[in-house]
Amino acid sequence: MHVGLMHYLILSALLFCTGLYGVVTRRNAVAILMGIELMLNAANINLVAFNRYVAPTAVGGQIFALVIITLAACEAAVGLALVLAAYRTLETTQVDEINIMKW
Amino acid sequence: MGELGAFIVLALVTLIPAVVVVTSHNIVRAAFSLVPSFLGVTGLYILLQAEFVAGIQVLIYVGAITVLLLFVIMLTEGGTGVRLRQVNEQVPLGAMAAVWLAFVIIVILTRTVWPVGAGSPPPYNATAIGNAFMTDYVLIFEATSLVLLVSLIGAIVTARGEE
Amino acid sequence: MLAESAIISASMPKVLLDWFYVAVFAVVGTLMAVLPLAVVWLLAPRQDSPQKTITYESGVLPFGQAWAQFNVRYYLFALIFVVFDVEVIYLYPWAVVFRQLGPVAFVEMLVFLLILLVGLVYAWKKGALEWV
Amino acid sequence: MSWVLELLKAIGLTVLLFTFLAVVTAMMGVYAERKIAGWIQARLGPKHVGPQGLLQTVADTVKLLQKEHITPRRADVLMFNAAPVVVAVAALLDWVVIPFGTLGSRVLVVRDINIGVLYFSAMASVTVLGILTAGWSSNNKYALLGGLRSASQLISYELPLALGILWAAMVAGTLSTVGIVEAQIQQGGWFLFTLPPPIGRLGAPFGILAAVTFLVAATAEVNRVPFDLPEAESELVAGYFVEYTGMRFALFQLGEYGEMFGMAALATIMFLGGWAEPHLAPYLWVAVALGAVVVAAVILLTARHSLVIRPVLSLAVLTAAVGLLMSVGGHLPSIVWFLLKLFTLVFFLMWVRWTYPRLRLDQLLNLSWKVLLPLGLLNLLATGLVLTLGGR
């Protein structure tokens, strides 16, 4: 059997759902960010796979993947800064305890 | 044959640690488990002949983002070894949602006819990407630097607080 | 050399063969690194004593956990590092094509870097680059 | 089955390079380091095991093999064991893209990967994780502090390092290590002193600046004095590997020396022309030989300690011999040239280690962020401008 586009898409769907599970069930904000990183990786696999199989001679998909990696890095930097800020004032990183906005 | 074998190995290297990431009770271990998962994705990029993206994946995800995550874990309560409950009460719901979504996506995927293009990838991946960035995608290229600038400033302001 | 590479390219693109070697290096290298550990496991004496496995703290009995919290400074440097590391990944493709494309590519990179230099200057002025 | 052949070849090369790493860089490296330290501090260094103490590190390795592995009670066992392996394998992987020379029309390199130098810096960045793992899993205060310090140092110096690499990649117009050496052969001069025509020798300041940036960052990246804060024997009692004993400790050592030699090899490739034979006029080679003799004579006449005589003499004889050979139109194999340049750089790094005191943490970070990073960026832009104005 040959490895085709479908293999990559299914793998990426599984990875995406794993990440989603992490995001939904984790209490620690850092762990939620880890789940998001997995989901972004899944999206990247898709982009590069589409690039390879749909338009192999172009590099558009890879460029998008690079931009997503960039955004993932920015997201991690800003997100973790928020976690630290929350930790400084509330002394917790558990998102269900960060509820001072709840009335 | 070889390609399929490599794909299966890489898929396992990607998915198994990913499951550890989302289920481990030790958050530091969860963060370290990201590394094999990222490396598995790197291998997939190689298999797709996206060499440059693979190099960047290691450099940024393994060498930078994971380090950043570990730093924050060690700066907050995660690093103290205090054993906190790591998951909330949504575990069954989350598992159901994830499995259902995976099911739906896979059904949709297998019922779609995907266009297939012909041709072989450019031999020098990095050169092709460089050319594309400097010509067709130059706006994205310059816009990224703005995004980076904004997130740098934003993160510094947020992380420092009002010292 | 040429004949050999022709035979290989018929079955496998150069990129894949390159990284096949890298994969073999990683796997076999790990085995070779583990090998001496296994030899030690066979050869070296093993005598457990409660004193021996105490965490080393200059001879004093350790107190508390080492897994403690650290200075936020470490994070600030990691943060600035991540942003500039991402900037560097855009320099790599630029470096490869720069001499073919000439002045246009230079100006494009100049704009890119000037925007980011603003960030560096900001971090510098805000004291995010100071340790103390 | 061609792929079985490739597999066997790859396994063979792994074993070969691992042995090179263990024997040449780690064992001989440690021996050379101790000898050079002895020379600089006017003492003998290892002397008793084998001729001139040559077998000292072999004996040490055998000793380490018999040492007990102590795992601290509160350590995270799995990660505690994984850390030294990660560090050693990351150092080994660096060497995949290092070309050693040519044999006929073949380049002696494991694989000339298209993104060679990017691959190198990616592998070097994996070391950070090994060190963080070691520091965290030991559950020891010194180890964790050393690990965190080390990680922040390594990430700080990764940027100037990458800028140095990028400089060479930009001038050569390729990311391949073999391509970078070939670009230098083609333009007939090292990137250290020469830019592509029409700039030529006028470009020397740029090359020297880039090489200095790279070397300083590389020294810091391998935790060597004056940047050895993470290990800082006198305050952190060895930092992140304080809890490691026996062969695990040796693996860290292997990784560290492998990485140091790897950085020196990359510097050789990017700035010193790799395996290329230097082309100097015969009279200049005579001058090199005479210069070596004169320098040796001056040192020997003014030396207060008889201990320096033998090392100085052997270095002078070596340089003079190479100079004479080249002046009569002789040739050395390209691999010899590569190793000569590599060992000269390594010697330089060791010399620095035993000469300078350690920096303070704030000085260390200032040097990276406020000096090397802006300097590297400006140098990159200035070189780009010069190349653009010089008509590509």
Which residues from B are below 8 Å from A3, CB to CB?
Answer: 3-4, 7, 47
Q: Do D128 and B71 touch (CB under 8 A)?
A: no
Read off the pLDDT band of C1 (50, 70, 90): very low
Q: What percent of chain D has pLDDT over 70?
A: 95
Q: Is C42 exposed, middle or buried (0-12, 13-18, 19+ CB in 10 A)?
A: exposed
Tokens for B116?
Answer: 């297939």
Longest dimension (CA), chain D: 67
Which neighbouring-strand residues pair with A54? none
Tell me the residues of chain A between 57 and 86 that have a Cβ less than 8 Å away from chain C: 66, 69-70, 73-74, 76-77, 80-81, 84
Dihedral Cα D372, D378, D379, D380, nearest 10 deg: 110
Instruction: Answer whether B79 sits within 8 Å of C67, measured CB to CB.
Output: yes
User: What residues are paired with B87 via a beta bridge?
Assistant: A26
D269-327 per-position pLDDT tens digit: 999 988 888 887 888 888 888 888 888 888 778 776 666 677 777 888 888 888 888 88
In this prediction, residue D89 carries a pLDDT of 92
Chain-chain contact of B51 with D115 (C-beta, under 8 angstroms): yes
| DSSP H stretches of helix in B24-87 | 27-47, 51-56, 66-75
Chain mean pLDDT for chain D: 85
**Residues forming beta bridges with residue D103, ordered by sequence position:** D106
Q: Which of D130, C5, D234, A14 is nearest to B104 (CA)?
A: A14
For residues B113 and D2, which has the higher predicted lDDT (pLDDT)?
A: B113
Q: What DSSP line would sit under A25-55, residue for residue? A: HB-BHHHHHHHHHHHHHHHHHHHHHHHHHH-
pLDDT at B43: 93
B130/A contact by beta carbon, under 8 A:
no
- Residue D116 reports pLDDT greater than 60: yes
Helices marked H in chain D:
2-19, 29-40, 56-65, 77-94, 116-137, 141-172, 177-187, 204-221, 233-236, 246-271, 282-302, 309-327, 334-353, 361-366, 373-389
Closest CA to D63 of B154, C45, B26: C45
CA nearest neighbour of B53 among D219, D196, C19, D25: C19
Of D140-154, D167-181, D244-258, the least confident: D140-154
What is the spatial distance between Cα B69 and Cα A38, in angstroms, rounded to a whole number? 13
pLDDT at D45 over 50: yes
Tell me the two tokens of residue C114.
Answer: 């000037």
Structure tokens at D308: 């320096």
Confidence tier at D234 by pLDDT (50, 70, 90): low
- Tokens standing for A69? 């990696």
Token pair of D386, please?
């010069």
Q: Is the pLDDT of residue A2 over 60?
A: yes
In 3D space, the residue among A66, D313, A77 whose CA is nearest the CA of residue B148 turns out to be A77
Nearest to D226, CA basis, from D360, D25, D37, D128: D360
> What does the pLDDT average to over C81-99?
90
C-beta separation of D171 from D384 below 8 A: no
User: Which residues have C-beta within 8 Å of that of residue C90, sequence separation ≥ 6?
Assistant: A66, B133, B141, B144, B145, C112
Partners of residue D173 in chain C, C-beta under 8 Å: 95-100
What does the block give as tokens for C8? Answer: 């290989």
Q: What is the pLDDT of residue B163?
A: 53
* pLDDT above 50: residue C3: no
- Rounded CA separation C127/D4 (Å): 57
Query: CA D6, CA C22: separation in Å to the nearest integer?
Result: 12
pLDDT digits (tens, 9 = 90+) for C33-82: 888 888 888 877 777 777 666 666 665 666 555 555 566 777 888 888 99
Question: Which pLDDT score is estimated for C59?
Answer: 59
Tell me the per-residue pLDDT of C107-129, one tens digit each, with 9 for 90 and over.
Answer: 888 999 898 889 889 888 888 77
| pLDDT higher at C17 or B17 | B17
Structure confidence at residue C10 (pLDDT):
47
- Single-letter amino acid, residue B88: N
Contact at 8 Å (CB) between D222 and D259? yes
* Cβ B15 vs Cβ A18: under 8 Å: yes
Answer whether A48 sits within 8 Å of B37, measured CB to CB.
no
Strand partners, D107: D102
Reported as a pLDDT band with limits 50, 70 and 90, residue D92 is very high
Average pLDDT, chain B: 86
Under a CB-based contact definition with an 8 Å cutoff, are residues C57 and C79 in contact?
Answer: no
Asked whether the beta carbons of D65 and D246 are under 8 A apart, the reply is yes
Q: Which two three-digit tokens encode residue D363?
A: 């000085």
Q: Do C116 and B134 touch (CB under 8 A)?
A: no
Cα C24 from Cα D146, distance rounded (Å): 32
Q: Residue B137: what are its φ and ψ, rounded to 5°?
A: -110, 30
3+ Cβ–Cβ pairs closer than 8 Å linking A and D: no
Residues 130-149 of D with CB under 8 A from C: 136, 138-144, 148
pLDDT at C2: 40
Q: How confident is the model at residue C9 (pLDDT cuts 50, 70, 90)?
A: very low
C51-66 burial: b if 16+ Cβ within 10 Å, else e: eeeebbeeeeebeeeb
**Residue C74 contacts by C-beta under 8 Å, 6 or more apart in sequence?**
B71, B74, B75, D148, D151, D152
Contact between C129 and C123 under an 8 Å Cβ cutoff? The reply is yes
pLDDT recorded at residue A91: 76
Flag if D72 and C88 touch (Cβ within 8 Å).
Answer: no
At residue A47, the pLDDT reads 94
CATH 3.40.225.10 fits B2-81+122-161, yes or no: no
Question: Is B73:B79 a contact under the CB 8 Å cutoff?
Answer: yes
Out of C19-33, C87-101, D195-209, which region has the weakest mean confidence (pLDDT)?
D195-209
Q: What are the pLDDT digits (tens) for C17-30?
A: 888 899 999 999 99
Q: Which of B40, B112, B111, B27 is nearest to A14 (CA)?
A: B40
Find, among D217, D108, D122, the residue nearest to D161 by Cα: D217
- DSSP secondary structure letters along C2-23: HHHHHHHHHHS-HHHHHHHHHH
Among C17, A51, A57, A54, CA closest to B121: A57
Written as six digits, the tokens of C55 are 């965490």
Are chains B and A touching, using the cut-off of 8 Å on CB pairs and a minimum of 3 such pairs? Answer: yes
pLDDT for the residue B72: 86
Q: Which pLDDT score is estimated for D93?
A: 92
Q: Do the Cβ atoms of C21 and D111 come within 8 Å?
A: yes
- Distance CA(A6)–CA(B109), nearest Å, equals 7
Pairing of strands D102-103, D106-107: antiparallel
Dihedral angle, C-alpha D360, D362, D366, D368, nearest 10 °: 70
> Residue B160 pLDDT > 70, yes or no?
yes
Burial class (CB in 10 A: 0-12, 13-18, 19+), D69: middle
Rounded to whole angstroms, what are the CA distances from D200 to A35, D58, D208, D386, D387? 52, 47, 13, 11, 11
- Is C80 in Cβ contact with D2 (below 8 Å)? no
Q: Are D388 and D177 in contact (CB under 8 A)?
A: no
Lowest mean pLDDT among B92-96, B136-140, C2-6, D330-334: C2-6
Specify the pLDDT at position D159. Answer: 92
3-class state of residue D106 by DSSP:
strand
Q: Evaluate whether D297 touches D127 at the Cβ level (below 8 Å).
A: no
Q: Are C55 and D243 in contact (CB under 8 A)?
A: yes
Q: Looking at beta carbons, which residues of chain B come within 8 Å of A31?
A: 22, 27, 30, 86
> Which 8-state DSSP code applies to residue B77?
G
Q: Contacts of residue B47 in chain C, CB cutoff 8 Å? A: 16
Is there a cis peptide before residue D226, judged by omega within 30 degrees of 0? Answer: yes
Integer angstrom CA distances of residue A30 from A33, A96, B77, C116: 5, 13, 11, 27
What's the pLDDT band for B118 if we cut at 50, 70, 90?
Answer: confident
Distance between CA atoms of D123 and B58, rounded to whole angstroms?
8
Question: Which positions in chain C touch B9 (Cβ < 8 Å)?
Answer: none
Q: What H or E segment, with its residue span, contains residue A21?
A: helix A5-25
